[in-house]
């Protein structure tokens, strides 16, 4: 049926127009049976509410601005997809604002900037303390952090230190020196979430609990790329001989390590053992041991908290932490 109206839905569900409006706008007090009847009518008639009219009525834009450090990585591709899909379930759109550089960040420090015309903000892998003056968002909007922690905001995180700890303890059961491979800007301010610092903490704690002291030479920093992982292994091979154990702070670095090991004729899982972090889909085919963080659930939970914060700005701050899972494969 073309040009379906709210009147058509009301007639089909045998309710008043006001009841349909209440259901569509998530008002409380509508009986469950009536709510279900209206939703079924909406689905059967393929009704699409007039967003402009709805925005005028509710004062909302039906948009969430998503700040993130960069785009084009597997992690952020998955996270953005999860966020956007969950928003779409609630008739919301995601507007993406990658920071990329200081120039863009300076623009977003103004309360009149485009991101603050939305209903609220999602900060992905970013900490307000390091981004904005007075450590606060420039605009008084509901905000949720995902993949970053802050005491003053709703947050959705993964126990990064715990995941790194489990990976390192697994490697320490094997013979050979154990190294941590980190990205060069793991502590770069202001574009850091603290995630990689947490992974380094977990690495160091695992060493300590195993009765080993941390030596500076065990930390190798490289660029955030597959080539960085290859450079990391070359660096390590220049210092020591196999067997070698490597905790790579992300799967991309681990992939580079595996490729360089093969070039050097080193047996993975014997001469070189490596564990990554993220559990990207391709890691199974590569046989890469990795720490799985539930990226899709991170996005969904962030939007759940975002919508609750919109409906109740004064509710208590919520911090949701997911536990990662170590997946052991042939690479270690």
**How much of the chain exceeds pLDDT 90, in percent?**
52
pLDDT surpasses 80 at 185: no
Tell me the C-alpha distance between 296 and 85, whole Å.
10
Tell me the C-alpha distance between 61 and 219, whole Å.
47
pTM above 0.85, yes or no: no
Task: Indicate the burial class of 32 (C-beta count within 10 angstroms; 0-12, 13-18, 19 or more).
Answer: exposed
In tens, the pLDDT along 126-181 reads: 888 887 777 788 888 899 999 989 899 999 999 999 999 999 999 999 999 999 99
The neighbour count for residue 270, using CB atoms within 10 Å, is 12
255 near 288, Cβ under 8 Å?
yes
Lowest mean pLDDT among 163-167, 221-225, 228-232, 251-255: 221-225
* Summary mean pLDDT of the chain: 87
Tell me the C-alpha distance between 256 and 327, whole Å.
19
In tens, the pLDDT along 265-317 reads: 999 999 999 999 999 999 999 999 999 999 999 999 999 999 999 889 889 99
126 near 68, Cβ under 8 Å?
yes
DSSP-derived 3-state class of residue 250: coil
Confidence (pLDDT) at 308:
92
Q: What is the dihedral of CA 174, 176, 178, 183, to 10 degrees?
A: -120
Q: Is the N-terminal amide bond of 243 cis, ω within 30° of 0?
A: yes
Please report the domains of the chain, with CATH numbers, ordered by start residue: 6-49 (1.10.260.40), 63-158+295-322 (3.40.50.2300), 160-293 (3.40.50.2300)
The DSSP symbol for 181 reads E
């Amino acid at each position: 049926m073309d040009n379906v109206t709210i009147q058509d839905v009301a007639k089909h569900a045998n309710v008043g127009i006001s009841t349909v409006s209440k259901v569509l706008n998530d008002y409380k007090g509508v009986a469950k049976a009536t709510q279900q009847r209206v939703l079924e009518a909406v689905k059967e008639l393929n009704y699409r509410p007039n967003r402009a009219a709805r925005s005028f009525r509710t004062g909302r834009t039906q948009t969430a601005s998503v700040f993130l450090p960069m785009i084009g990585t597997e992690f952020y591709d998955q996270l953005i997809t999860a966020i956007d899909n969950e928003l779409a379930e609630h008739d919301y759109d995601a507007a993406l604002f990658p920071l990329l550089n200081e120039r863009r960040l300076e623009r977003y420090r103004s309360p009149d900037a485009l991101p603050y015309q939305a209903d609220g903000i999602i900060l992905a892998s970013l900490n307000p303390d390091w981004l904005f003056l007075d450590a606060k968002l420039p605009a008084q909007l509901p905000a949720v952090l995902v993949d970053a922690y802050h005491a003053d905001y709703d947050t959705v995180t993964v126990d990064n230190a715990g995941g790194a700890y489990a990976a390192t303890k697994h490697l320490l059961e094997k013979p050979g020196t154990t190294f941590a491979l980190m990205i060069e800007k793991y502590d770069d301010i202001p574009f850091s979430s603290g995630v990689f610092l947490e992974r380094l903490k977990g690495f160091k704690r695992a060493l300590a609990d195993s009765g080993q002291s941390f030596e500076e030479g065990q930390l190798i920093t490289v660029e955030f790329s597959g080539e960085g992982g290859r450079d990391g292994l070359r660096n390590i091979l220049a210092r020591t001989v196999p067997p070698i154990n490597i905790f790579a702070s992300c799967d991309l670095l681990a992939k580079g390590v595996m490729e360089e090991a093969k070039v050097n004729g080193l047996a993975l899982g014997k001469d070189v053992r490596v564990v990554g972090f993220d559990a990207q889909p391709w890691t199974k085919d590569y046989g890469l041991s990795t720490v799985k963080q539930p990226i899709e659930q991170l996005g969904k939970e962030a939007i759940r908290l975002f919508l609750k914060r919109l409906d109740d700005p004064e509710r208590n701050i919520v911090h949701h932490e997911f536990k990662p899972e170590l997946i052991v494969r042939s690479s270690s």
